[in-house]
Each structure stands twice: as C-alpha cells, then as structure tokens.
Amino acid sequence: MAASIAYIGGHLQYGVNFCKGQSYKQAVWVPGVIFNGCLQRELSWSCGVSKFLQIRQCNLFRSPSNKKSKSFRTLATSAYLRDGTTKYFDFAVIGSGVAGLRYALEVAKHGSVAVITKAEPHESNTNYAQGGVSAVLCPSDSIESHMQDTIVAGAYLCDEETVKIVCTEGPDRIRELIAMGASFDHGEDGNLHLAREGGHSHHRIVHAADMTGREIERALLEAVINDPNISVFKHHFAIDLLTCQDGLDTVCHGVDALNTETQEVVRFISKVTLLASGGAGHIYPSTTNPLVATGDGMAMAHRAQAVISNMEFVQFHPTALADEGLPIKPKKTRENAFLITEAVRGDGGILYNLSMERFMPLYDGRAELAPRDVVARSIDDQLKKRNENYVLLDISHKPREKILSHFPNISNECLQHGLDITRQPIPVVPAAHYMCGGVRAGLQGETNVHGLYVAGEVACTGLHGANRLASNSLLEALVFARRAVQPSIDHMKSSNLDLRASDLWTLPLVPKSLGSDVMHKILRTTKEVRKELQSVMWKYVGIVRSTRRLQEAEQKIGELEAKWETYLFEHGWQQTMVAHEACEMRNLFCCAKLVLNSALARHESRGLHYMIDFPHLEESKRLPTVIFPSSGTTSTWSSRQLHQHSTC
C-alpha cells in the first residue's frame, strides 16, 4: 500500500475545517516529515451502469421540511436493481454501539435513518464496556482537573481543544442518558454514585452496577426500536462507502452492505453517513473485543480517501487469561479475552515466566506493582525473548479463603478448565483492548470526505492522544455523536442527491458462480490467513516494537496478503465479489497495515507506542501521525474500493 504519512507540524490543532479545501491543504503541507509523499489521486474509471432500474415504490424522495415534527413519517424509498436492492435514507449510520445509536436518535427528528449493523444490534464494544463513563458531576471536581488527567494519560499528545470540549460537554450527555432511561447507580440520597478509577484525580465515574455499557446500550436500543424514523438493518455487513469525486473533494453518498443472512447485496444511498463501527481488536490473536471488531470502518474510510491518524496507539491489557495454559482447553475459542484484574497483583500476586523465574524485578523496582504499561512491556519482552506464549500469575501463596472471596470470577472460570488458582499459577498473556487512533475527525466529527462523519472508537478525535484515560471512551462516543448532529442536518438539507445516484457504482457481487466447493476452500484458507496475520501482528507489531521487527512485519504481511489474494483470484474470485469472511479479512489487512505504518513513522516512545531503538520521548515528535489516502497504482484488493470510482 503506497501511503503517505506525515507529522502535522506546528501545532496539534485538530480544528481544521475539512470542508474548506484550501485551508485543509495548508494544514497538510506544513513542514514535517513526509514519507512516500503523495496526495490523493482520483481513480478515473469508466462507470458500469445498471440499466435495469425498477422503482417499485413510487414515493418520491421529498426534500425534508424544516419542521421537527414527531409525526414525520419515514420516507425510505426502495428501488430494486436486478442484482440487489437500493434503499434511500437521509442518514445512514454504520454501527450500533453508543455512538451510532445516540446519533441516530437525534437525527431521526429531522429525517429518515438507517442503522446498519453487522450482527445483532447489541453486539458491539459498548456492550462489553462494563466499567463506567467519566464526567465532572461533583461540585468538588472541575473540568480543568478532568482535562489535566486526560492530557497526562495521553502523554501530552491530546488535542487540547478536543479535550476541553469533551470534558465540558460530558456532564450534559450523561444527564441526557439518564433522561432517556439509563439507570446508573446512586446513593441512598438519590444522587449519582461516582467512583474513582486509576488516572483520575477525582471521583467522576458514573456506572450501572458493573454493566454500564450494557445498560447504556439497552436504553438507547429501546429508544431506537421505538422510533418510527429509524430502521435497523441487522446482519448487514458494510462493504465499502459509496464515494465520488466532485472536483478536488471526495463526497460520500452512502454505503454498500451485504445481508449475511440472505446473502443479498443492499445499497444504501444516503445524504449523510455516520461511521460508528468501533474498534479493530481482532487484528491481534488475543483481544477483549467481540468478534465484530475487525476494523471495518477504519478500512472503509481509508479506501474512501479519508485521513487516518494515530493508529500506532493500541491499548493492551497485560494480563488476560491465556487459554493455552489451561489444563482443559475451552471447547470453542474464546471470543473475547477474560482480563485478570490489577487487584490480583495488588493483593500480592507474583509474575513468573514458564521457567518459574520471577522477572518483574529485572524491569522495575516496583516489580509487580509497577504501572500497567511497564508490566505489559515486561511480559511482552519475556515472551519475545523466550519465544513463549504466556506467563504465569501466582496468587496461590495467599490465604485460600481470601482468594476465593475476592476473585470468585477468576476462580470459577479457571476451575471449569481444570485449574485451582489457590494452588496453581494463572496463565496470562496481554490482550488488545482499545484503538486510540482511527479516522481523523474534526471538532464536529467531520472528516475530509464530505458527508462522512465519525464517532466513537473508529474516530481519532484527539481526545486520547497516545493513551486513553479510563472511562473516557464512552464519553468521547457520546459527545461526538451529539456534536456531529447539527452539521449532519445542515449537510443533509443542502444535499441535492437524487434517485439516479445509485447508478454511479458497480454493484458488489455475491460469489454464487464459484460453487460451494471453491467457497469452502476459500473460507478455510481465509481462516488460516487470519490466524497468521494475527500471529504476525502480535510477534512483530506488539507492545514492544523495533524498526527491525516492524520492517519484518511489513514484509511478512505484504507476502501474506499477496498469497491470500492470489489464492482468491486463482479460484475465480472477482474484484467486485463479496463474502462476509473475505471482506473482514481485507479490512483486517488494511487496519494491520495502518497500525504498522503508523508505528514505523513514530521515531520516539510515547504512551502506548514503545520502540526499543527510540526508547525516549522526543518533544519535537509530539505530533499526531497522519496517513493520507493511497495513490492506488500498486494497491491491493484490501486497499481499494470494490466498485469503480466515479465523478459526481
């Protein structure tokens, strides 16, 4: 993938208005390091146009009125093309986590909304975010304090204006959630109970028992399902954004999706698109993320010429339960990792490598009580040096009753797999948890692609910088989903999109013609390639990095991708063909390379990004890493859109 990576010099300001082409260009060309320097180039392909358009429902797509009436009826028009269906909406939302749903509920007051989600609607990282959400809700707390904590955690790479906005607007976003029916823990006096998490200097974590994410998701989903203007399309896998060139601008007009239950392609034409597709944990073999988190949104956005930022900052947790070390292996591969709490080490747990050597004192005088990222790097280093797959966390020297009463969840889980933690050490390995980087967003969630907005984990807003502060991710999603609403409405009202837009792009093709034998082979190979990619990412683009390792990763991933694509195309796969697993694989390749290239570009260690050959912070490098769209000349299937590009 030919990509240009640059440091935006001068300042960390994310407030560039991407809608003004000229000023955006100026921000791009501020002196800095340009690697493989090239800007976006349009691909001018001739369009293939379907001639068999039949409009079944003749409700014309009328321009929205200015009334914010609750009785506004959904005017979703469907047109049936020969090989698929086209649907028309004012707003398309990709992803059904907190960001997507929050946004949908607001914009639904102004037009029709499609929420497109690849599995069941509740299946998202939000649902697993079971800690809390941070906000300044206590009189003795302050916005400045929350800001400071965020910036310190972010290793001073945060965008200050973004941080200020999120910390300031957070409390109102929480109050709205409560008004919507989310039920947070409170005291007997009826006031919100606020906890204090690591890195926060005040009590400011709002939570719901310990299922905050799930509770927020539940409340939002209920409201969405009851909203007559919102249509939820579950089991619809988004394939590529529908974009075209309008002079120098790239404009987004919707998204193609595959209904994975019926194996039918659905084209969504929309005036505005919100990308809220979450994270990419599954580029690594061990992750806390559910299976849906394969970086689809980051990949689609990159292919659609959107700018990507700070992908090198991947947050790992040091001690996830390593299934490989359990006497009885789980029957099915665990989908999302079981994290062993800090409290085990806090209560006296000791880390050993597989030779039963206690290694933490070699790395830090605080041994097991060193900060989390020090522990993560130490474990990673041990695993790489010794070529092993997990280490051991031993709490068995502590009183049995205390272990069982404090950690019943771990005890039970391990017991089911033949391990008694009161007698034996627990096998642990770091797991990928959160992507701090993503699609570069302005202060209103806007991207450099007109009509495309982003919110949530898929976005890089400048809030997290080089490392995310605990409980700030749900907050970021809520704030940016809300901020993207007005610009979206404005864009929608000024849009002159019409029914014929659907003709501009070739339709994706379901590979029925290949036959089931070939498909079976392709699926099997894809599964193996996925495991191989995850293994390479963990070994070469893990927690402790080096230029040499990253370059090896570049070579290996390049070869693996070429091998996979060759296999596909040798078996009759065509450029526009789509299948769930193959599309996920191309997104995983795309994201893996984004992470890799970003890591290669940062010649310092900061926050989550640690380089052996650049082990210190460099003030001159305190800048975001930015990846511009690829030139497209030597691109792979994963790095270009399926459909033929066109001019508007």
Contacts of another protein in 364-393 (CB under 8 A)? 365-367, 369-372
Query: With the C-alpha atoms ordered 563, 564, 570, 573, is the resulting torsion angle positive or negative?
Result: negative
Contacts of another protein in 244-303 (CB under 8 A)? none
Distance of closest approach, residue 617 Cβ to another protein, in angstroms: 19
Distance of closest approach, residue 335 Cβ to another protein, in angstroms: 15
Distance of closest approach, residue 380 Cβ to another protein, in angstroms: 16
Phi, psi values for residue 42, rounded to 5°: -75, 145
Does 478 help bind another protein (rule: CB under 8 A)? Answer: no
Nearer to another protein, 110 or 200 (CB): 200
Q: How far apart are CA 250 and CA 304, in angstroms?
A: 8
Nearer to another protein, 389 or 396 (CB): 396
> Is residue 295 classed as helix, strand or coil in its secondary structure?
coil
Does 424 help bind another protein (rule: CB under 8 A)? Answer: yes
Distance of closest approach, residue 364 Cβ to another protein, in angstroms: 9
Among 415, 519, 523, 617, binds another protein (CB under 8 A): 415
Type of residue found at 259: N
Contacts 24+ apart (CB under 8 A), 351-354: 351/375, 351/378, 351/379, 351/391, 351/392, 351/393, 351/394, 351/428, 352/391, 352/392, 352/393, 352/394, 352/425, 353/382, 353/386, 353/388, 353/391, 353/392, 354/386, 354/388, 354/390, 354/391, 354/392
Contacts of another protein in 93-152 (CB under 8 A)? 128-132, 137-140
Among 90, 123, 380, 394, binds another protein (CB under 8 A): 394
Nearer to another protein, 40 or 422 (CB): 422
Structure tokens at 245: 């060139």
Contacts of another protein in 551-590 (CB under 8 A)? none
Question: Looking at 43-51, 421-429, 564-572, 629-637, which segment touches another protein (CB under 8 A)?
Answer: 421-429
Contacts of another protein in 178-217 (CB under 8 A)? 185-189, 191-199, 203, 205, 207, 209-210
| Catalytically annotated residue among 214, 218, 358, 372 | 372
Nearer to another protein, 320 or 594 (CB): 320
Counting beta carbons within 10 angstroms of the beta carbon of residue 20, is it exposed (0 to 12), middle (13 to 18) or buried (19 or more)? exposed
Nearer to another protein, 105 or 192 (CB): 192
Distance of closest approach, residue 468 Cβ to another protein, in angstroms: 9
Nearer to another protein, 217 or 565 (CB): 217
Does 600 help bind another protein (rule: CB under 8 A)? Answer: no
DSSP-derived letter for residue 287 is B
Instruction: State the CB neighbour count (10 A cutoff) for residue 647.
Output: 12
What is the torsion angle, in degrees rounded to the nearest 10, for the CA atoms of residue 537, residue 312, residue 6 and residue 296? 70
Phi, psi values for residue 529, rounded to 5°: -65, -40
Tell me which residue of 115, 76, 75 sits closest to 225, measured CA to CA: 115
Residue 372 appears among annotated catalytic residues: yes
Contacts of another protein in 308-327 (CB under 8 A)? 317, 327
Annotated active-site positions, please? 372
